[in-house]
Amino acid sequence: MISDTLLRNLAGASDVLRQRFQDYWSLVKSLQTGLLLATGVAGFSSARCPVTHWDSTLSLAGSLLLAISGSTVLNMVYDRDIDALMHRTARRALPSGRVAPGEALAIGLGLSFLGVGWALALAPLYGAIVFAGLFFDVVIYTINLKRRTAYSIIIGGLAGGMPTLAGRSLAAGRIDTVGLLLALAILLWIPTHIMTFSLRLDEDYRRAGIPTFPIQYGVRVTQLVIAASSLAAAVAMAAAAALIGLERRYLRLLGVLSLGLLGLAASSVFRPSGKTNFGLFKYASFYMLSSMLLIVAEAV
């Protein structure tokens, strides 16, 4: 019979392994990575059916998952000092010391190398775009601009648009208008996503010394930029959907989603409140995910 001591040791080892897995998993920011992965699949689906081309879809998803996860881990390694200063992020695995920086760096580099290598093996153009996204995100945005200027979100937006552009290029074999519009929609959506967050966590960003639009230009200007970027993102997404040939039922749904986004953005300008701002932040992610799923549904 298994002794009680052995059972307790096994349970303790299981708890340690579970905690380690959770710490490693937290490094990739699964919700953010999942959203970016969905945009990549949608980009592919805008030109090819993801079901009939299931092998390419799986390869796309696998390579993007590795590359996006790798860039996210590398960003977490570089930002661990400012994360330690912010209440929201101080308990993350790196600033709290649960994962060593060298260990996380090795993981980030390994995931990035595998993801980009796989992407290049699938198609040189696709691989080049995936690499560009990683380079813009880690080297240009995080390392060089994030701590210097509030306009770093433009580069962050470029990086965020690369997965869908990559997906479209893999399916179409070239960079075309639809791919650029989808990437532009994400680039224009980024201010809504990031600026609403920076408004909500203004004190955290001040404490960490990160320049944001609310800090540099004030709340009112930030709210106007959010409203303008929301409108522009909706227009770009509608233009891409029209060129793709989205069915009317999906176009109507996209229209409803866009009206919701614009309505919340307008409310944040004319009737600002913390509740409205947080609602817009949450809805912005829902809007982008739903829009991309409509493109996938059209292809299937």
**Over 189-216, what HEC string results?**
HHHHHHHHHHHHCHHHHHHHCCCCHHHH
Whether residue 35 is contained in a domain is answered as: yes
Q: Please count the structural domains in the chain.
A: 1
- One-letter amino acid for residue 292 of the chain: M
* Closest C-alpha among 293, 227, 300 to residue 254: 293
Whether residue 12 is contained in a domain is answered as: no
Residue 65 has, within 13 A of its CA and on its CB side, a CA count of 11
Whether residue 234 is contained in a domain is answered as: yes
Domain of 133, in residue numbers: 28-299
Whether residue 11 is contained in a domain is answered as: no
Digits of tens for pLDDT over the chain (300 positions)?
556 666 566 566 666 678 788 888 899 899 899 999 999 999 999 999 999 999 999 999 999 999 999 999 999 999 999 999 999 899 999 999 999 999 999 999 999 999 999 999 999 999 999 999 999 999 999 999 999 999 998 888 899 999 999 999 999 999 999 999 999 999 999 988 899 988 888 899 999 899 999 999 999 999 999 999 999 999 999 999 999 999 999 999 999 999 999 999 999 888 888 888 888 989 999 999 999 999 999 998
Question: What is the length of the chain?
Answer: 300
The answer to whether the beta carbons of residues 74 and 33 sit under 8 Å apart is no
Whether residue 65 is contained in a domain is answered as: yes
Whether residue 10 is contained in a domain is answered as: no
The pTM assigned to this predicted structure is 0.91
| CA 300 distance to own-chain centroid | 24
Identify the CATH number of the domain in which residue 160 sits: 1.10.600
Whether residue 191 is contained in a domain is answered as: yes
pLDDT reported for residue 76: 95
Whether residue 19 is contained in a domain is answered as: no
* Closest C-alpha among 222, 126, 223 to residue 179: 126
The residues near 32 (Cβ < 8 Å, ≥ 6 apart) are 72
The answer to whether the beta carbons of residues 59 and 122 sit under 8 Å apart is yes
